[in-house]
Structure 1
Protein backbone atom coordinates (compact mmCIF):
# COMPACT_ATOMS: atom_id res chain seq x y z
CA UNK A 1 0.00 0.00 0.00
CA UNK A 2 2.85 2.34 0.88
CA UNK A 3 4.56 1.53 -2.40
CA UNK A 4 1.45 2.41 -4.34
CA UNK A 5 1.01 5.70 -2.44
CA UNK A 6 4.70 6.53 -2.97
CA UNK A 7 4.42 5.67 -6.65
CA UNK A 8 1.37 7.86 -7.02
CA UNK A 9 3.11 10.77 -5.33
CA UNK A 10 6.19 10.38 -7.54
CA UNK A 11 4.15 10.09 -10.70
CA UNK A 12 2.05 13.12 -9.72
CA UNK A 13 5.17 15.14 -8.97
CA UNK A 14 6.85 14.17 -12.23
CA UNK A 15 3.69 14.77 -14.24
CA UNK A 16 3.17 18.19 -12.61
CA UNK A 17 6.79 19.11 -13.30
CA UNK A 18 6.43 18.03 -16.91
CA UNK A 19 3.27 20.02 -17.37
CA UNK A 20 4.78 23.09 -15.67
CA UNK A 21 7.83 22.86 -17.90
CA UNK A 22 5.63 22.56 -20.96
CA UNK A 23 3.62 25.60 -19.91
CA UNK A 24 6.76 27.67 -19.40
CA UNK A 25 8.07 26.67 -22.81
CA UNK A 26 4.75 27.60 -24.33
CA UNK A 27 4.97 31.02 -22.74
CA UNK A 28 8.40 31.62 -24.26
CA UNK A 29 7.65 30.22 -27.70
CA UNK A 30 4.06 30.57 -28.91
CA UNK A 31 4.41 28.17 -31.85
CA UNK A 32 6.31 24.96 -30.94
CA UNK A 33 7.14 22.01 -33.20
CA UNK A 34 4.59 19.16 -33.26
CA UNK A 35 7.36 16.67 -32.48
CA UNK A 36 8.12 18.40 -29.10
CA UNK A 37 4.48 18.25 -28.02
CA UNK A 38 4.10 14.65 -29.00
CA UNK A 39 7.31 13.70 -27.19
CA UNK A 40 6.14 15.54 -24.03
CA UNK A 41 2.77 13.80 -24.15
CA UNK A 42 4.55 10.49 -24.49
CA UNK A 43 6.71 11.20 -21.42
CA UNK A 44 3.72 12.13 -19.26
CA UNK A 45 1.73 9.13 -20.39
CA UNK A 46 4.70 6.88 -19.70
CA UNK A 47 5.11 8.21 -16.19
CA UNK A 48 1.52 7.53 -15.24
CA UNK A 49 1.52 4.12 -16.88
CA UNK A 50 4.84 3.18 -15.29
CA UNK A 51 3.80 4.38 -11.82
CA UNK A 52 0.64 2.35 -11.83
CA UNK A 53 2.33 -0.79 -13.06
CA UNK A 54 5.72 -0.76 -11.33
CA UNK A 55 5.90 1.91 -8.70
CA UNK A 56 8.63 4.56 -8.63
CA UNK A 57 11.06 2.55 -10.70
CA UNK A 58 8.27 1.82 -13.15
CA UNK A 59 7.48 5.52 -13.31
CA UNK A 60 11.07 6.30 -14.37
CA UNK A 61 11.11 3.48 -16.91
CA UNK A 62 7.66 4.49 -18.13
CA UNK A 63 8.79 8.05 -18.62
CA UNK A 64 11.69 6.88 -20.80
CA UNK A 65 9.45 4.52 -22.76
CA UNK A 66 6.76 7.18 -23.16
CA UNK A 67 9.36 9.59 -24.49
CA UNK A 68 10.35 7.06 -27.11
CA UNK A 69 6.69 6.54 -28.05
CA UNK A 70 6.16 10.29 -28.38
CA UNK A 71 9.27 10.64 -30.53
CA UNK A 72 8.04 7.82 -32.74
CA UNK A 73 4.74 9.63 -33.25
CA UNK A 74 6.66 12.78 -34.17
CA UNK A 75 8.81 10.81 -36.63
CA UNK A 76 5.68 9.39 -38.26
CA UNK A 77 4.31 12.90 -38.69
CA UNK A 78 7.58 14.06 -40.23
CA UNK A 79 7.59 11.09 -42.62
CA UNK A 80 4.03 11.86 -43.71
CA UNK A 81 4.97 15.51 -44.24
CA UNK A 82 7.99 14.54 -46.35
CA UNK A 83 5.88 12.07 -48.34
CA UNK A 84 3.39 14.84 -49.10
CA UNK A 85 6.21 17.11 -50.26
CA UNK A 86 7.65 14.31 -52.40
CA UNK A 87 4.27 13.68 -54.02
CA UNK A 88 3.93 17.40 -54.80
CA UNK A 89 7.43 17.48 -56.34
CA UNK A 90 6.64 14.42 -58.45
CA UNK A 91 3.47 16.11 -59.69
CA UNK A 92 5.42 19.26 -60.59
CA UNK A 93 8.07 17.20 -62.40
CA UNK A 94 5.38 15.38 -64.38
CA UNK A 95 3.84 18.73 -65.37
CA UNK A 96 7.25 20.06 -66.44
CA UNK A 97 7.82 16.93 -68.55
CA UNK A 98 4.47 17.48 -70.28
CA UNK A 99 5.38 21.11 -71.02
CA UNK A 100 8.78 19.98 -72.34
CA UNK A 101 7.13 17.46 -74.67
CA UNK A 102 4.72 20.15 -75.86
CA UNK A 103 7.56 22.56 -76.63
CA UNK A 104 9.50 19.81 -78.41
CA UNK A 105 6.42 19.08 -80.54
CA UNK A 106 6.05 22.78 -81.38
CA UNK A 107 9.71 22.95 -82.32
CA UNK A 108 9.36 19.94 -84.62
CA UNK A 109 6.33 21.57 -86.27
CA UNK A 110 8.30 24.80 -86.70
CA UNK A 111 11.25 22.98 -88.28
CA UNK A 112 8.89 21.08 -90.58
CA UNK A 113 7.14 24.33 -91.60
CA UNK A 114 10.51 25.95 -92.30
CA UNK A 115 11.52 23.05 -94.53
CA UNK A 116 8.21 23.19 -96.37
CA UNK A 117 8.56 26.94 -96.86
CA UNK A 118 12.08 26.49 -98.16
CA UNK A 119 10.82 23.86 -100.60
CA UNK A 120 8.08 26.22 -101.77
CA UNK A 121 10.62 28.98 -102.31
CA UNK A 122 12.81 26.66 -104.35
CA UNK A 123 9.87 25.53 -106.48
CA UNK A 124 8.78 29.12 -106.88
CA UNK A 125 12.25 30.10 -108.05
CA UNK A 126 12.34 27.25 -110.55
CA UNK A 127 8.87 28.11 -111.83
CA UNK A 128 9.81 31.77 -112.17
CA UNK A 129 12.80 30.79 -114.28
CA UNK A 130 10.55 28.68 -116.49
CA UNK A 131 8.04 31.51 -116.82
CA UNK A 132 10.79 33.95 -117.70
CA UNK A 133 11.78 31.64 -120.58
CA UNK A 134 8.22 30.67 -121.42
CA UNK A 135 6.12 27.72 -120.24
CA UNK A 136 4.10 25.86 -122.88
CA UNK A 137 0.79 24.08 -122.42
CA UNK A 138 0.39 21.59 -125.30
CA UNK A 139 -2.90 20.38 -126.87
CA UNK A 140 -4.15 17.47 -128.89
CA UNK A 141 -5.12 17.97 -132.54
CA UNK A 142 -8.29 20.05 -132.86
CA UNK A 143 -8.70 20.27 -129.05
CA UNK A 144 -8.70 23.13 -126.56
CA UNK A 145 -8.97 20.92 -123.46
CA UNK A 146 -6.23 21.34 -120.87
CA UNK A 147 -4.78 17.91 -120.09
CA UNK A 148 -4.29 16.78 -116.46
CA UNK A 149 -0.48 16.89 -116.72
CA UNK A 150 -0.59 20.56 -117.68
CA UNK A 151 -3.19 21.30 -115.00
CA UNK A 152 -0.59 20.35 -112.39
CA UNK A 153 1.83 22.84 -113.92
CA UNK A 154 -0.84 25.52 -114.01
CA UNK A 155 -1.56 24.86 -110.32
CA UNK A 156 2.09 25.62 -109.56
CA UNK A 157 1.89 28.77 -111.67
CA UNK A 158 -1.17 29.85 -109.64
CA UNK A 159 0.77 29.23 -106.42
CA UNK A 160 3.64 31.38 -107.65
CA UNK A 161 1.18 34.13 -108.56
CA UNK A 162 -0.37 33.94 -105.09
CA UNK A 163 3.04 34.30 -103.42
CA UNK A 164 4.10 37.12 -105.75
CA UNK A 165 1.16 39.51 -106.16
CA UNK A 166 3.25 41.89 -108.29
CA UNK A 167 3.60 39.34 -111.11
CA UNK A 168 1.62 39.47 -114.35
CA UNK A 169 1.43 36.88 -117.10
CA UNK A 170 1.23 36.91 -120.87
CA UNK A 171 -0.86 34.07 -122.39
CA UNK A 172 -0.43 33.50 -126.10
CA UNK A 173 -2.35 30.82 -128.03
CA UNK A 174 -1.25 29.03 -131.23
CA UNK A 175 -2.39 26.29 -133.60
CA UNK A 176 -0.57 24.05 -136.07
CA UNK A 177 -0.67 24.65 -139.83
CA UNK A 178 -3.24 22.01 -140.69
CA UNK A 179 -6.69 23.32 -141.48
CA UNK A 180 -7.97 26.70 -142.62
CA UNK A 181 -6.51 29.85 -141.15
CA UNK A 182 -9.85 31.05 -139.75
CA UNK A 183 -10.35 27.71 -137.99
CA UNK A 184 -6.82 27.76 -136.63
CA UNK A 185 -7.29 31.30 -135.35
CA UNK A 186 -10.50 30.40 -133.55
CA UNK A 187 -8.91 27.25 -132.11
CA UNK A 188 -5.92 29.20 -130.77
CA UNK A 189 -8.31 31.69 -129.14
CA UNK A 190 -10.23 28.84 -127.49
CA UNK A 191 -7.02 27.33 -126.17
CA UNK A 192 -5.77 30.53 -124.58
CA UNK A 193 -9.25 31.16 -123.15
CA UNK A 194 -9.23 27.71 -121.49
CA UNK A 195 -5.82 28.30 -119.92
CA UNK A 196 -6.90 31.70 -118.69
CA UNK A 197 -10.15 30.31 -117.28
CA UNK A 198 -8.28 27.58 -115.43
CA UNK A 199 -5.82 30.03 -113.83
CA UNK A 200 -8.69 32.30 -112.74
CA UNK A 201 -10.41 29.26 -111.24
CA UNK A 202 -7.23 28.64 -109.21
CA UNK A 203 -7.41 32.14 -107.75
CA UNK A 204 -5.42 34.29 -110.21
CA UNK A 205 -7.10 37.64 -110.82
CA UNK A 206 -8.06 38.27 -114.47
CA UNK A 207 -6.45 41.69 -114.33
CA UNK A 208 -3.06 39.98 -114.01
CA UNK A 209 -3.47 37.96 -117.23
CA UNK A 210 -2.91 39.27 -120.74
CA UNK A 211 -4.37 36.87 -123.35
CA UNK A 212 -4.03 36.91 -127.15
CA UNK A 213 -3.95 34.36 -130.00
CA UNK A 214 -2.19 34.09 -133.37
CA UNK A 215 -3.53 30.94 -135.00
CA UNK A 216 -0.94 29.16 -137.16
CA UNK A 217 1.04 32.29 -137.95
CA UNK A 218 3.96 31.59 -135.59
CA UNK A 219 5.18 27.97 -135.98
CA UNK A 220 8.05 26.76 -133.83
CA UNK A 221 9.99 25.54 -136.91
CA UNK A 222 9.76 26.40 -140.56
CA UNK A 223 9.52 22.78 -141.65
CA UNK A 224 6.08 21.27 -141.13
CA UNK A 225 5.93 17.71 -139.83
CA UNK A 226 3.87 15.59 -137.48
CA UNK A 227 6.34 16.19 -134.67
CA UNK A 228 6.61 19.93 -135.28
CA UNK A 229 2.82 20.25 -135.44
CA UNK A 230 2.67 18.93 -131.86
CA UNK A 231 4.85 21.80 -130.62
CA UNK A 232 2.79 24.33 -132.58
CA UNK A 233 -0.44 23.39 -130.71
CA UNK A 234 0.31 25.40 -127.60
CA UNK A 235 -0.37 28.26 -125.24
CA UNK A 236 2.81 29.98 -124.10
CA UNK A 237 2.89 31.54 -120.62
CA UNK A 238 5.49 34.21 -119.92
CA UNK A 239 6.17 36.76 -117.21
CA UNK A 240 5.39 40.33 -118.11
CA UNK A 241 7.66 43.20 -116.99
CA UNK A 242 6.56 44.64 -113.66
CA UNK A 243 5.59 47.99 -115.18
CA UNK A 244 3.52 46.51 -118.03
CA UNK A 245 -0.11 47.58 -118.07
CA UNK A 246 -2.60 44.92 -119.19
CA UNK A 247 -5.29 46.20 -121.51
CA UNK A 248 -8.89 45.33 -120.66
CA UNK A 249 -10.39 42.68 -122.91
Structure 2
Protein backbone atom coordinates (compact mmCIF):
# COMPACT_ATOMS: atom_id res chain seq x y z
CA UNK A 1 0.00 0.00 0.00
CA UNK A 2 1.29 3.42 -0.85
CA UNK A 3 1.78 6.13 1.74
CA UNK A 4 3.05 9.67 1.33
CA UNK A 5 6.03 10.64 3.40
CA UNK A 6 3.78 12.69 5.67
CA UNK A 7 1.51 9.73 6.34
CA UNK A 8 4.51 7.48 6.81
CA UNK A 9 6.01 9.82 9.38
CA UNK A 10 2.65 10.11 11.12
CA UNK A 11 2.30 6.35 11.43
CA UNK A 12 5.86 6.13 12.72
CA UNK A 13 5.11 8.70 15.41
CA UNK A 14 1.91 6.92 16.39
CA UNK A 15 3.57 3.52 16.60
CA UNK A 16 6.53 4.78 18.63
CA UNK A 17 4.64 6.91 21.13
CA UNK A 18 5.33 4.51 23.99
CA UNK A 19 9.09 4.32 23.49
CA UNK A 20 10.05 7.43 21.63
CA UNK A 21 9.06 10.96 20.75
CA UNK A 22 8.23 12.95 17.65
CA UNK A 23 9.58 16.32 16.66
CA UNK A 24 8.56 18.92 14.11
CA UNK A 25 11.01 19.65 11.31
CA UNK A 26 11.49 23.43 11.38
CA UNK A 27 12.11 23.49 7.63
CA UNK A 28 9.12 21.46 6.44
CA UNK A 29 6.72 21.50 9.37
CA UNK A 30 6.44 17.71 9.12
CA UNK A 31 6.29 15.47 12.16
CA UNK A 32 9.00 12.84 12.30
CA UNK A 33 10.67 10.43 14.71
CA UNK A 34 13.21 12.07 16.98
CA UNK A 35 16.59 10.54 16.18
CA UNK A 36 17.78 11.55 19.63
CA UNK A 37 14.97 9.62 21.24
CA UNK A 38 15.70 6.38 19.38
CA UNK A 39 19.42 6.78 18.81
CA UNK A 40 20.30 4.51 21.70
CA UNK A 41 18.20 1.65 20.42
CA UNK A 42 20.69 -0.23 18.29
CA UNK A 43 20.71 -3.83 17.16
CA UNK A 44 16.97 -4.27 17.60
CA UNK A 45 14.62 -5.15 14.79
CA UNK A 46 11.89 -2.80 13.68
CA UNK A 47 9.30 -5.26 14.91
CA UNK A 48 10.71 -5.15 18.42
CA UNK A 49 11.03 -1.36 18.24
CA UNK A 50 7.48 -0.78 17.13
CA UNK A 51 5.99 -3.50 19.29
CA UNK A 52 3.05 -3.62 16.91
CA UNK A 53 2.07 -2.87 13.36
CA UNK A 54 1.93 0.17 11.11
CA UNK A 55 -1.47 1.80 11.41
CA UNK A 56 -2.72 -0.18 14.41
CA UNK A 57 -3.60 -3.82 14.85
CA UNK A 58 -7.39 -3.60 15.27
CA UNK A 59 -8.01 -1.50 12.17
CA UNK A 60 -5.67 -3.65 10.11
CA UNK A 61 -7.43 -6.87 11.12
CA UNK A 62 -10.83 -5.38 10.31
CA UNK A 63 -9.56 -4.29 6.90
CA UNK A 64 -8.11 -7.70 6.13
CA UNK A 65 -11.32 -9.41 7.21
CA UNK A 66 -13.45 -7.07 5.11
CA UNK A 67 -11.20 -7.69 2.14
CA UNK A 68 -11.44 -11.45 2.52
CA UNK A 69 -7.69 -11.74 3.00
CA UNK A 70 -7.73 -14.06 6.02
CA UNK A 71 -8.14 -17.78 5.53
CA UNK A 72 -9.13 -20.73 7.72
CA UNK A 73 -7.43 -21.40 11.03
CA UNK A 74 -7.31 -25.18 11.12
CA UNK A 75 -3.79 -26.44 11.78
CA UNK A 76 -2.00 -23.08 11.74
CA UNK A 77 1.26 -23.05 13.69
CA UNK A 78 3.66 -20.14 13.76
CA UNK A 79 6.62 -22.33 14.68
CA UNK A 80 5.94 -24.46 11.61
CA UNK A 81 5.97 -21.38 9.37
CA UNK A 82 9.27 -20.27 10.91
CA UNK A 83 10.87 -23.67 10.28
CA UNK A 84 9.69 -23.70 6.69
CA UNK A 85 10.90 -20.14 6.06
CA UNK A 86 14.31 -20.98 7.50
CA UNK A 87 14.55 -24.09 5.33
CA UNK A 88 13.47 -22.32 2.14
CA UNK A 89 15.94 -19.45 2.67
CA UNK A 90 18.85 -21.47 4.06
CA UNK A 91 22.25 -20.40 2.75
CA UNK A 92 20.95 -17.13 1.31
CA UNK A 93 21.98 -14.85 4.18
CA UNK A 94 18.35 -14.28 5.14
CA UNK A 95 17.64 -14.48 8.86
CA UNK A 96 14.28 -15.65 10.24
CA UNK A 97 13.57 -15.05 13.93
CA UNK A 98 10.84 -14.60 16.49
CA UNK A 99 10.18 -11.08 17.81
CA UNK A 100 7.68 -9.36 20.10
CA UNK A 101 8.08 -12.02 22.76
CA UNK A 102 7.43 -14.85 20.33
CA UNK A 103 4.28 -13.26 18.94
CA UNK A 104 5.63 -12.36 15.51
CA UNK A 105 8.12 -13.46 12.85
CA UNK A 106 10.83 -11.21 11.43
CA UNK A 107 12.46 -12.02 8.08
CA UNK A 108 15.68 -9.99 7.71
CA UNK A 109 16.75 -9.49 4.09
CA UNK A 110 20.32 -8.15 4.24
CA UNK A 111 22.25 -6.00 1.82
CA UNK A 112 23.91 -8.01 -0.92
CA UNK A 113 20.90 -10.18 -1.73
CA UNK A 114 18.39 -7.38 -2.08
CA UNK A 115 19.39 -4.24 -4.01
CA UNK A 116 22.39 -2.77 -5.76
CA UNK A 117 24.04 0.20 -4.06
CA UNK A 118 21.80 3.26 -4.18
CA UNK A 119 19.07 1.39 -6.06
CA UNK A 120 15.56 0.24 -5.23
CA UNK A 121 15.30 -2.10 -8.21
CA UNK A 122 14.99 -5.64 -6.89
CA UNK A 123 17.92 -7.86 -7.90
CA UNK A 124 16.99 -10.84 -10.07
CA UNK A 125 18.55 -13.18 -7.50
CA UNK A 126 16.49 -11.55 -4.78
CA UNK A 127 13.25 -12.27 -6.64
CA UNK A 128 13.49 -16.00 -6.04
CA UNK A 129 13.89 -15.38 -2.30
CA UNK A 130 10.89 -13.07 -2.26
CA UNK A 131 8.93 -15.71 -4.17
CA UNK A 132 9.56 -18.11 -1.29
CA UNK A 133 8.45 -15.51 1.28
CA UNK A 134 5.33 -14.76 -0.77
CA UNK A 135 4.56 -18.47 -1.01
CA UNK A 136 4.79 -18.79 2.77
CA UNK A 137 2.51 -15.79 3.27
CA UNK A 138 -0.05 -17.37 0.94
CA UNK A 139 0.24 -20.76 2.62
CA UNK A 140 -0.28 -19.11 6.01
CA UNK A 141 -2.72 -16.30 5.23
CA UNK A 142 -3.80 -15.50 8.78
CA UNK A 143 -1.33 -12.74 9.44
CA UNK A 144 -0.67 -9.06 8.87
CA UNK A 145 2.58 -8.05 7.18
CA UNK A 146 4.80 -5.00 7.59
CA UNK A 147 7.78 -4.25 5.34
CA UNK A 148 10.52 -2.01 6.79
CA UNK A 149 13.37 -0.41 4.85
CA UNK A 150 16.71 0.74 6.32
CA UNK A 151 19.94 2.26 5.03
CA UNK A 152 23.42 2.96 6.35
CA UNK A 153 24.63 6.44 7.32
CA UNK A 154 26.59 7.09 4.12
CA UNK A 155 25.14 10.06 2.24
CA UNK A 156 22.52 12.56 3.37
CA UNK A 157 19.81 11.55 5.81
CA UNK A 158 17.12 12.83 3.44
CA UNK A 159 18.32 10.71 0.51
CA UNK A 160 18.69 7.69 2.79
CA UNK A 161 15.15 8.19 4.09
CA UNK A 162 13.74 8.29 0.59
CA UNK A 163 15.77 5.26 -0.52
CA UNK A 164 14.56 3.24 2.47
CA UNK A 165 10.96 4.09 1.59
CA UNK A 166 11.44 3.14 -2.05
CA UNK A 167 13.00 -0.20 -1.12
CA UNK A 168 10.29 -1.06 1.39
CA UNK A 169 7.62 -0.13 -1.14
CA UNK A 170 9.32 -2.19 -3.86
CA UNK A 171 9.32 -5.30 -1.66
CA UNK A 172 5.71 -4.74 -0.58
CA UNK A 173 4.60 -4.31 -4.19
CA UNK A 174 6.51 -7.42 -5.24
CA UNK A 175 4.77 -9.53 -2.57
CA UNK A 176 1.40 -8.15 -3.65
CA UNK A 177 2.27 -8.92 -7.26
CA UNK A 178 2.93 -12.52 -6.23
CA UNK A 179 -0.56 -12.91 -4.82
CA UNK A 180 -0.33 -11.71 -1.21
CA UNK A 181 -3.46 -9.68 -0.43
CA UNK A 182 -2.73 -5.96 -0.35
CA UNK A 183 -5.05 -5.54 2.64
CA UNK A 184 -2.53 -7.49 4.73
CA UNK A 185 0.52 -5.40 3.82
CA UNK A 186 1.87 -2.00 4.86
CA UNK A 187 5.35 -0.56 4.32
CA UNK A 188 7.56 2.07 5.95
CA UNK A 189 11.06 3.47 5.45
CA UNK A 190 13.26 4.24 8.46
CA UNK A 191 16.27 5.64 6.62
CA UNK A 192 19.40 5.61 8.76
CA UNK A 193 17.56 5.36 12.08
CA UNK A 194 17.51 2.20 14.20
CA UNK A 195 20.92 1.04 13.02
CA UNK A 196 21.70 -2.64 13.41
CA UNK A 197 25.29 -1.67 14.28
CA UNK A 198 26.76 1.66 15.37
CA UNK A 199 29.67 1.98 12.98
CA UNK A 200 31.28 4.31 10.52
CA UNK A 201 34.02 1.95 9.32
CA UNK A 202 32.33 1.21 5.98
CA UNK A 203 32.92 -2.48 6.68
CA UNK A 204 30.09 -3.45 8.99
CA UNK A 205 27.86 -0.74 7.49
CA UNK A 206 26.35 -3.39 5.20
CA UNK A 207 24.46 -4.78 8.20
CA UNK A 208 22.52 -1.51 8.38
CA UNK A 209 21.37 -1.79 4.76
CA UNK A 210 18.45 -4.16 4.98
CA UNK A 211 14.76 -4.79 4.42
CA UNK A 212 12.72 -6.57 7.07
CA UNK A 213 9.39 -8.32 6.66
CA UNK A 214 7.43 -8.63 9.89
CA UNK A 215 4.70 -11.28 10.01
CA UNK A 216 2.21 -11.00 12.87
CA UNK A 217 -0.34 -13.85 13.07
CA UNK A 218 -3.97 -12.99 13.69
CA UNK A 219 -5.82 -15.31 16.07
CA UNK A 220 -9.20 -16.79 15.31
CA UNK A 221 -10.65 -14.81 18.21
CA UNK A 222 -9.28 -11.55 16.83
CA UNK A 223 -10.61 -12.29 13.37
CA UNK A 224 -13.97 -13.23 14.84
CA UNK A 225 -14.18 -9.98 16.74
CA UNK A 226 -13.52 -8.16 13.48
CA UNK A 227 -16.31 -10.00 11.70
CA UNK A 228 -14.62 -13.10 10.27
Q: TM-score, normalised by structure 2?
A: 0.49
Structure ranking higher in helix proportion: 1
Answer 1 or 2: higher relative contact order, Cα 8 Å, separation at least 6: 2
The structure with the largest alpha-carbon Rg is 1
Q: TM-score, normalised by structure 1?
A: 0.45
